[in-house]
Structure formats: structure tokens, C-alpha cells
Amino acid sequence: MQDRQLKVIIAGGGTGGHLFPAFAIADALKKREAGADIHFVGSKYGVELRHFEKRGEDHTLLNIRGFQRGTSLQAVGRNILFPFRFLSSFIRSKKLIKRLDPDVVVGTGGYASGLPLLAAIKKNIPTVIHEQNSYPGFTTRWLADRVDSVCISYSNSEQYLKKKSAFSPETPSGRRY
């Protein structure tokens, strides 16, 4: 019997603070699991497009962006479009999950991570959130009690999450070996 290749979706982006941890996770997985098949999901409005292409990564970009915090006409217009973008990106995430059939979906934050995580939860696919900030973002706080595991980098992040997280006080980065 042939061993099955590990298939992982890593979703996150919008900013480098969400994207570069996703790359670090992917690089570590590729070292540990020869031939791991990794597919990235990000937002077409974030920094990820040029970085995915530069690294030659297999990726999907969703038409999602976060709530705009302002009262400008542009911000109001973008917020009015949010429900439509959310729904279309969720449907696209569900199709992607069905097509790729991943073993696990990892979210690193940003609105682009929430929809693939939510689609995976609905299909009972294992899910993990990696939160690299001391104060978890909206997506992490919203999904923390629904995913299988939350990995944090700072112990004080746990106070903002409903679910018990995986944090190793032995290492400053929260990594477990």
C-alpha cells in the first residue's frame, strides 16, 4: 500500500504579519514531510499575490477584505459589499476544499483565513489556527472555539480566546518539538 501524500491548505494574508508565518509553516512542513502538497489561500487585496508568484506557490486568491474602519464614502461602500464578498468567497472556499480534499487546513489570520477554515469545519476536516500576535485578530477570536487547535506565540493571547491553546513556555516563540 502506498503512503498518502500530506495535503495542506494554509490560509492567511492581507498583511505580511499573516503571510510570512504561513510561509514559515509551509517551509517547516516541506522539511518534515517530503512531497507535502501545500496550497495557499489569500486575499486578492493583500500583499500575498506578488509573494505567492515570487515563491512559485500554488495558491487561490479570494475576493475578501476586512471591515473598513472609517466613515468615508469609500469605506462605507466597501462595507456594503462585504456580505456579498463573504458569501462568494465562502462558496469558492467550499469548492476548493472539495477539490483539494486536504488533510488539514491551517489559518494564520486575516479575513482570507476565516473562510477556508469555516468550510473545513463544516466538512469535519481538521483545522488549526496559528496566532502570532499577542492580541488575536477578529478572525482568530471568532473561530478559536470552533477549530481543533489554536497555537499561540504569546501566553497572554490565551486570555482573549475561548478555547485552550497550545503554548509551550519552554520556547519564546511558543514552538513545541
pLDDT digits (tens, 9 = 90+) for 17-28: 899 999 999 999
Q: Are 39 and 59 in contact (CB under 8 A)?
A: yes
Name residues of the chain where pLDDT drops below 70: 1-3, 163-177
Pairing of strands 104-107, 127-131: parallel
pLDDT of residue 97: 98
Work out the end-to-end distance of the chain between its first and last CA atoms, rounded to an integer number of angstroms.
Answer: 29
pLDDT of residue 105: 98
Beta bridge partners of residue 42, listed in sequence order: 61
pLDDT of residue 1: 40
What is the dotted CATH code of the domain comprising 7-160? 3.40.50.2000
Residue whose C-alpha cell is 477539490: 99
pLDDT of residue 167: 59
Q: Tell me the pTM.
A: 0.87
